[in-house]
């Protein structure tokens, strides 16, 4: 069987929904479709929740009206008849439930993660009904399934962890019989259900992850991620004009790319595919005839395939004069970062100088002031003597590909390129997997460094391919942002 996932822009309008349905219908059965909310709706739902919490009734009503209108414009494409009426009723029920949930938020004066998940799920639920009805209208039996009954998760609202065994059992019980009847199942992406039956979400952009989770639960032959770029690109085309499609990636390469900031895939997407060796293909609904990117166990070449940049990071150095304190101080630092849910992007330790270097996500951390006072507190509590230094506005450049395995040569080449460009390297590393080389650099020089590394390792685009560039840069909404 095949799982096809369509992102927000791929179901962004009536025409796009019909095109996505046609792409799905062209695949051999059995097939399951996973859908995101239509583009913009997830952000609108979150806005409505925040307005509800502030008691801004007028703002909230306007936001809800915008959501309803977006859904209505797609519903309008269905021909009049009992199927359309039934779909319209179910969508109205979802909109009514949305308003009740928003009223609950206003009452509580607080937009809790639990209510947030229940509220944002509306976007995917409505889309699954619209897509299933569109498929039926085109002559293909189809049924919408809400993933809070299928994807079993824990209760970490906003970023729930899936339970593989529970998901397999539920997929077998709920999805499989529908496929066996010859129906195309249209499942909501992004959402799951906690053990007590509450709706959860897998984190922003999580519909890709839903697709591979369903694929793994049903032992799919292939998972196709249909998006708005023709596959994984060798760099963000807004920063590197010569960026080109990458035809093939190994699982590890794809995971490193997603981890280091390539927005085309949600970072957790590939993992479920690895254990069962399920190929994942990334394709464009705007150019369905293009081959896209195929992700499989092995990498097809030992070249560097793509470069990424992650911005808004904080560089932290912790000097520990007493060697005996080193591990304890490291544990205290990691403990505090873990408690604050701050992601450590890179960690290195030079024991001879008793120095630890970390690159951490700065986004929700409140900058160096906050980091330093927090970390000084935790190490002082344990009576370690440490000196902490902190730099904001740091970016991480990553060059990803099996080619990084030839560590010393490739890394020195990359550092050489940065030096030539006058980009100082604040920290660098090869991942232990040997699939990525990374360098922390001052953020204001990051784009220049990225361009130079791309030129050096990947080079300019072969001339015949240039034609596609303009169209591509126009069509990038989904792969560079979510919502
Ligand atoms: N609709 C959700 C979001 O915008 C999930 C997704 O699109 O993958 O984050
Ligand atoms: Mg996406």
Distance CA 251, CA 300 (A): 11
Q: What is the DSSP letter of 152?
A: B
Contacts of 46 (CB under 8 A, 6+ apart): 116, 119, 120
Q: What pLDDT is recorded for position 266?
A: 85
Residue of 264 and 176 predicted with greater confidence: 176
| pLDDT exceeds cutoff 50 at 467 | no
Atom of ligand 1 nearest to the CA of 124: 1
Give strand pairing partners of 308: 398
Q: What pLDDT is recorded for position 352?
A: 72
| pLDDT exceeds cutoff 70 at 393 | yes
Q: Of 63-72, 308-317, 367-376, give the lowest mean pLDDT range.
A: 367-376
Atom of ligand 1 nearest to the CA of 206: 8
How do residues 293-307 score in pLDDT, each as one tens digit? 999 998 888 889 999
CA of 196 to the centre of ligand 1 (A): 23
**Hey, whose CA ends up nearest to atom 6 of ligand 1?**
205
Sheet holding 427-430, edge to edge: 344-350, 355-361, 306-319, 387-400, 436-442, 427-430
**Hey, whose CA ends up nearest to atom 4 of ligand 1?**
483
How do residues 336-391 score in pLDDT, each as one tens digit? 988 888 888 888 887 676 888 999 988 666 789 888 888 989 988 888 888 999 99
Whether the CB-CB separation of 38 and 123 falls below 8 Å is answered with yes
* Ligand 1 and 403: CB distance under 6 A: no
| pLDDT exceeds cutoff 50 at 469 | no
Contacts of 81 (CB under 8 A, 6+ apart): none
Q: What pLDDT is recorded for position 466?
A: 45
Q: Give the tokens for residue 288.
A: 């369905």
Whether the CB-CB separation of 66 and 37 falls below 8 Å is answered with no
Residue 225: enclosing H or E segment and its boundaries? strand 222-227
How do residues 323-342 score in pLDDT, each as one tens digit? 888 888 889 999 998 888 88
Residues measured by CB to lie within 5 Å of ligand 2, the ion: 7, 205
Whether the CB-CB separation of 131 and 35 falls below 8 Å is answered with yes
Question: What are the CA-CA distances from residue 232 to residues 216, 246, 283, 434 (Å)?
Answer: 22, 6, 9, 20
| pLDDT exceeds cutoff 80 at 270 | yes
How do residues 396-407 score in pLDDT, each as one tens digit? 999 999 877 665
Radius of gyration of the chain from its Cα atoms, rounded to whole angstroms: 24
Q: What pLDDT is recorded for position 464?
A: 45
How do residues 174-184 score in pLDDT, each as one tens digit? 999 999 999 99
- What would the mean pLDDT of 62-86 be, rounded to a whole number? 97
Q: What pLDDT is recorded for position 364?
A: 63
Q: What pLDDT is recorded for position 405?
A: 61
Mutational pocket test of ligand 1: of 67, 151, 211, 482, the residue with most ligand atoms within 8 Å of the beta carbon: 482
Q: What pLDDT is recorded for position 460?
A: 78
Highest mean pLDDT (candidates 47-56, 411-420, 459-468): 47-56
Whether the CB-CB separation of 121 and 67 falls below 8 Å is answered with no
| pLDDT exceeds cutoff 70 at 461 | no
Whether the CB-CB separation of 462 and 247 falls below 8 Å is answered with no
Given pLDDT bands bounded at 50, 70 and 90, which one contains residue 482?
Answer: low
Distance CA 348, CA 325 (A): 16
Q: What pLDDT is recorded for position 321?
A: 85
How do residues 190-236 score in pLDDT, each as one tens digit? 999 999 999 999 999 999 999 999 999 999 999 999 999 889 999 99
| pLDDT, averaged across the chain | 91
**Hey, whose CA ends up nearest to atom 5 of ligand 1?**
205
**Phi/psi-derived region of residue 367, left when phi > 0, alpha when psi is between -120 and 50, beta in every other case:** left
How do residues 119-176 score in pLDDT, each as one tens digit? 999 999 999 999 999 999 999 999 999 999 999 999 999 999 999 999 999 999 999 9
**Hey, whose CA ends up nearest to atom 8 of ligand 1?**
205
| pLDDT exceeds cutoff 50 at 470 | no
Distance CA 307, CA 267 (A): 16
Q: What is the pTM of this model?
A: 0.90
* Ligand 1 and 126: CB distance under 6 A: no
Find, among 225, 313, 237, the residue nearest to 273 by Cα. 225
């Amino acid at each position: 069987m095949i799982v096809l996932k369509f992102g927000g822009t791929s179901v962004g309008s009536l025409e796009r929904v019909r095109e996505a349905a046609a792409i799905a219908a062209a695949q051999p059965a059995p097939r399951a479709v996973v859908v995101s909310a239509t583009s913009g709706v997830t952000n609108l739902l979150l806005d409505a929740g925040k307005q509800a919490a502030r008691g801004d009734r007028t703002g909230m009503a306007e936001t809800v009206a915008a959501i309803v209108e977006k859904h209505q414009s797609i519903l309008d494409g269905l021909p009049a008849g009992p199927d359309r009426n039934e779909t319209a009723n179910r969508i109205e029920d979802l909109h009514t439930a949305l308003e009740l949930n928003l009223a609950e938020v206003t009452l509580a004066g607080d937009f809790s993660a639990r209510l947030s998940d229940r509220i944002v799920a509306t976007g995917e639920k409505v889309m699954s009904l619209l897509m299933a009805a569109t498929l039926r209208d085109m002559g293909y039996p189809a049924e919408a399934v809400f993933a809070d009954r299928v994807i079993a998760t824990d209760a970490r609202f906003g970023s729930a962890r899936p339970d593989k065994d529970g998901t397999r059992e539920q997929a077998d019980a709920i999805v499989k019989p529908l496929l066996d009847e010859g129906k195309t199942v249209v499942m909501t992406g992004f959402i799951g259900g906690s053990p007590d039956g509450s709706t959860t979400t897998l984190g922003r952009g999580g519909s890709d992850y839903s697709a591979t989770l369903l694929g793994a639960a049903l032992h799919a032959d292939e998972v196709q991620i249909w998006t708005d770029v023709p596959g994984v690109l060798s760099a963000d085309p807004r920063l590197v004009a010569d960026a080109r499609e990458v035809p093939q990636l190994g699982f590890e390469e794809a995971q490193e790319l997603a981890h280091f900031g390539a927005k085309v895939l949600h970072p957790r997407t590939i993992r479920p595919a690895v254990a069962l060796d399920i190929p994942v293909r990334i394709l464009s609904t705007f150019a369905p005839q293009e081959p896209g990117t195929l992700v499989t166990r092995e990498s097809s070449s030992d070249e560097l395939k793509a470069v990424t940049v992650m911005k808004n990071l904080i560089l932290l150095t912790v000097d520990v004069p007493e060697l005996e304190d080193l591990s304890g101080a490291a544990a205290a630092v990691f403990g505090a970062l873990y408690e604050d849910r701050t992601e450590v992007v890179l960690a290195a330790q030079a024991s001879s100088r008793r120095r630890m270097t970390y690159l951490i996500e700065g986004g929700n951390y409140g900058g160096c002031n906050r980091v330093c006072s927090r970390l000084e507190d935790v190490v002082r509590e344990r009576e370690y003597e440490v000196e902490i230094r902190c730099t904001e506005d740091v970016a991480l450049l990553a060059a990803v590909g099996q080619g990084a395995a030839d560590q010393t040569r490739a890394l020195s080449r990359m550092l050489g390129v940065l030096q030539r460009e006058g980009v100082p390297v604040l920290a660098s590393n090869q991942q232990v997997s040997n699939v990525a080389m990374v360098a922390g650099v001052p953020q204001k020089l990051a784009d220049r460094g990225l361009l130079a590394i791309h030129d050096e390792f990947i080079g300019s685009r072969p001339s015949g391919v240039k034609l596609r560039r303009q169209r591509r840069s126009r069509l990038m909404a989904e792969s560079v942002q979510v919502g």
